[in-house]
Amino acid sequence: MFFSKDYKEIANEIFKNVGGKENIVSLDNCSTRVRVEVKNIDKVDIKSIVKAGAKEVLISGEDYLQIVVGPTMVAPVTDAIKVLYYED
């Protein structure tokens, strides 16, 4: 579960396992999901994202991920990923 980990730790795991800054095209969220468009889906490690605590990872089309984290964690996790993106 996500509640056993700090949201910054979760964000770091997601950031790393979607391929980092060089693989992220866009990033946003809805009420329960972190939405990430990537350049190369082959660089994404879905098993590691789930192991980090995601409830589910859905792939839409060829390059769009929806990482289900739940309503209480989605905003802080997404914001922390954005910080990692801009400081990387």
Could you list the active site residues?
30
Query: 3-class DSSP state for residue 17?
Result: helix
Residue among 5, 33, 11 nearest 87 (CA): 11
Q: What distance in Å separates the CA atoms of residue 86 and residue 54, rounded to the nearest whole number?
A: 23
Q: Which residues have a Cβ under 8 Å from the Cβ of 7 and sit 6 or more positions away? A: 73, 76, 77, 80
